[in-house]
Amino acid sequence: MRNFLERPTVTPIAIRVDGDWIAGDLTIPHDADGIVIFAHGSGSGRFSSRNRLVAQSLTDDGFATLLLDLLTEREEQVDRVTREHRFDIPLLARRVVAAVDWCRSNARTQALPIGLFGASTGAAAALVAAGTRPHAIAAVVSRGGRPDLAGDMLEHVLAPTLLVVGGADAVVIDLNQLALERMRCSRRIAVVPGTTHHFEEPGALDQVCGLASRWFAQHLHSVAPATSAGQ
């Protein structure tokens, strides 16, 4: 655990993708062990309170984090009315891939192994990105995710993958189990007892933080960063 009195600076960034820009918040602690890119879901963005709590926990444990808005400002305005973009997995996945490529080319992050943390539909986007850049991703964690929406790309994921689900979220448990059976990489499901889909119960997110930190600590240390963004 790092010194809480020495909080690292949060740096706003912008990533060019699909002819527009997506915004992100980059935090890099001293001697970071890797970087975790967050893929939010279901209309959420980089200001999601739940994912920011997880990101803060990971930063305290020595990981850099990149919280993203997967939609541009214009797309967010449309999505608030139509809800059409939040379930567009190919679009969301392209944004995660763009963030992976950005981390591979940025001087501050290019030496850091990359992990992905996805929530809800963002978990599907993270897994599609991991299948698209199989040699650039060292580990994936899904929280209350819909990995089944990644479809055939599940079979292309090489990164060790942890699927965290709430014990009271029966439908999502079943969907995660189906996705698990399609995957070929090292993977497992972690069920947090008595917890619903959004992990709102007391202590539930603390358990997610611990599971994610241990998974990334185990797997981000075990690989060398890819030498090319396209790998």
- What separation in angstroms does the CA of 88 have from each of 17, 31, 167, 193, 204? 15, 36, 27, 30, 28
Of the candidates 168, 173, 185, the one whose C-alpha atom is nearest the C-alpha of residue 219 is: 185
**Strand 35-39 versus strand 114-119 pairing type:** parallel
Q: What's the average model confidence in pLDDT over 9-21?
A: 94
Q: What's the average model confidence in pLDDT over 143-166?
A: 97
pLDDT at 142 over 90: yes
72 CB-near residues (< 8 Å, 6+ apart) = 18, 20, 21, 22
In terms of pLDDT, which residue wins out, 73 or 94? 94
pLDDT at 107 over 80: yes
In terms of pLDDT, which residue wins out, 229 or 149? 149
Q: What's the average model confidence in pLDDT over 17-44?
A: 90
When the pLDDT of each residue in the chain is averaged and rounded to a whole number, the result is 90
Q: How far apart are the first and last CA of the chain?
A: 32
Q: What percent of the chain has pLDDT over 70?
A: 92
**Strand 20-27 versus strand 10-17 pairing type:** antiparallel
CATH classification code of 10-220: 3.40.50.1820
Helix-helix angle 89-105:121-132, to 10 degrees: 50
Q: What pLDDT score was predicted for residue 42?
A: 61
The pLDDT-based confidence of 230 (bands split at 50, 70, 90) is very low
**Strand 35-39 versus strand 20-27 pairing type:** unpaired
Find the range with the poorest average confidence among 119-123, 163-167, 207-211, 226-230. Answer: 226-230
Q: What's the average model confidence in pLDDT over 38-46?
A: 76
Where do the structural domains in the chain lie, given as residue ranges? Answer: 10-220
- What separation in angstroms does the CA of 146 have from each of 5, 67, 139, 175, 178? 37, 19, 17, 7, 10
pLDDT at 58 over 80: yes
Q: What pLDDT score was predicted for residue 44?
A: 64
Find the range with the poorest average confidence among 17-21, 125-129, 185-189, 222-226. Answer: 222-226
The pLDDT-based confidence of 46 (bands split at 50, 70, 90) is confident
Question: Please, is 173 exposed, middle or buried when counting C-beta atoms within 10 Å of its C-beta (0-12, 13-18, 19+)?
Answer: middle
Q: What distance in Å separates the CA atoms of residue 26 and residue 11, rounded to the nearest whole number?
A: 5
Of the candidates 32, 42, 27, the one whose C-alpha atom is nearest the C-alpha of residue 145 is: 42
pTM: 0.91
* Cα Rg, the chain, nearest whole Å: 16
Q: What pLDDT score was predicted for residue 227?
A: 43
Q: What's the average model confidence in pLDDT over 198-209?
A: 94
Q: How many CB atoms lie within 10 A of CB 208?
A: 26
Of the candidates 190, 160, 158, 159, the one whose C-alpha atom is nearest the C-alpha of residue 177 is: 190
